[in-house]
Amino acid sequence: MTSKPVFLKSRLAGLASSAIIVVLAAGYGVAQAAQSKVTLSGAHEVPAVTTSAKGNGTITVGDDKAVSGSVTTSGVVGTMAHIHEAAAGKNGPVIIPLEKKGDNQWAVPANAKLTDAQYKAYKEGNLYVNVHSAEHKGGEIRDQLKP
């Protein structure tokens, strides 16, 4: 016959072992992701744009270099939106065109990924998202992605 204290001790030990296995397994094989909250404004454009337009959203970049997220705008009729590579205060090439999902929403396309060099630039704070308009073809509102 098993006494209660011995049974409880072995049961608790089993639960503790299971919890450790779950915690350890969670750290392996799962790409971690960093979310960049963005607040787009004309003041962040290069050169700066005087506009009442604004935007906000979240762009997520995983350790596996996968990119996802979206941006919602107001006060602008966006013609296109992109993630570009360049430091704050500079303009750079488009690396991911965003897809228009509605009048005021832009989304990262499915299966978007950064190259190794682009991921390094992201980690250094050298990627930005912006929305272009007919009036401001180079970009009306912008914000840097913050790793």
CATH number at residue 73: 2.60.40
Residue at 99 is within a domain = yes
Which tens digits make up the pLDDT trace of 9-58?
555 455 444 444 433 344 444 557 889 999 999 999 999 999 999 999 99
pTM, rounded to two decimals: 0.79
Neighbours of 10 (CB within 10 A): 11
Buried b / exposed e along 13-34 (16+ C-beta atoms within 10 A): eeeeeeeeeeeeeeeeeeeeee
H or E element in which residue 6 lies = helix 4-26
Residue 131: domain span: 33-145
Which tens digits make up the pLDDT trace of 83-129?
999 999 999 999 999 999 988 999 999 999 999 999 999 999 999 99
Q: Closest by alpha carbon to 32, among 7, 60, 55?
A: 60
